[in-house]
Chain A
């Protein structure tokens, strides 16, 4: 009995440690307090500010568009890379796999800084063209897409590609109609991962973004340094919204995975 109590205590402690900070922020986002600690009345003004201040709305929209565009390109690159590596000869495949590992463990600062040096300084591409920023985010995300597609390829019965060729399909048709549908769940989770990585990124963006453009991360860092309290408190609301979206997304993915599992068990 006592052991059981201990167990639940520890679980509650860990959960508090994980979720209390964001809960505090969420609670305060629904007040008109200007600082954490001074509790005043309930208010939605933070949410109103968040969705009506053009500067904030543009920043959020820009970040989301950037995330989806980069994730799109990263998904194509990562998927093609994974398929290529999978069907390469053994030695080549392990070389590609190892080379893919390096950017994954590499510090984002290094990635961002080196892309800035290469594209902006060496090739002279203007930061205002958004090319360095998108390129940076694609570089950041593609290896992760690669990693989420590879297991699906390994699960796939490798002879189905040959079966498609055998039935008269060209290699391209076999890839599109047979291989891609098999690894599609991996591609989708790779895409989702790429979107969140791009949304999260701070370092690559600071080095490569145009001066007039801000992602949520860079904006939050600048805003918290400044003194504009209305904006600052609006960011509490933004954090809450992002958190809620993430929770919903996670729930959705879990339910879907559960359903698929049941189907596979023949229910």
Chain B
């Protein structure tokens, strides 16, 4: 088993490592202008500098832990994460009840669906001017844009999940005496959970895209802001270091959500739960 894992690790790393080696060699040979594309080693050093605390540890300034987390990268990551989570909670928090209502009530569905279909194709980015007009600068317009981005995938998947609940479960539940709220909470909602979880994951992905854009316009920290700032100074190495940080953070979040989803859906046919 361990041997197999080591083997698959070699396979999955082969192409990235080879690309990095060629890139590094080309940079060192002077083939590529470092302003346009810095070498991998330069990016790495810049990333370390970005992540490291700016000043050496001084007990007078606070605890070791506070010092350790005083680096720019961790502050930016925390700021971005805070915006994503706030926006996501607002967006998904509105989308879930709306989606559940639209899924269960034909009347609500017919009332709200046209509006939803008109608004859905408008990318959140198109709301940027209005967001600034309505909410000014700082976090509020970012929350607004992110929640918009998260709202639609969650609402659409929730409606779909509720409307496609297999009729046999409802028949069985009614036969066992369930109705009204019991039918909804104990049967319809759990049956729709696989769809809802998909919506939440997609919604979080969109929220993560939107946060980077939102940070480029209205705030002065966060990973998105840092990339734009680096551009002003032609720090290509820092731009790439920022991009990599975004990628790592996104991967970490999605892995967490996927774990959560596997746990909530451990009953689901498609998922094999490891022993």
Chains A and B form a bound pair: no
Interface residues of chain B, those whose CB is within 8 Å of chain A, are: none
Interface residues of chain A, those whose CB is within 8 Å of chain B, are: none
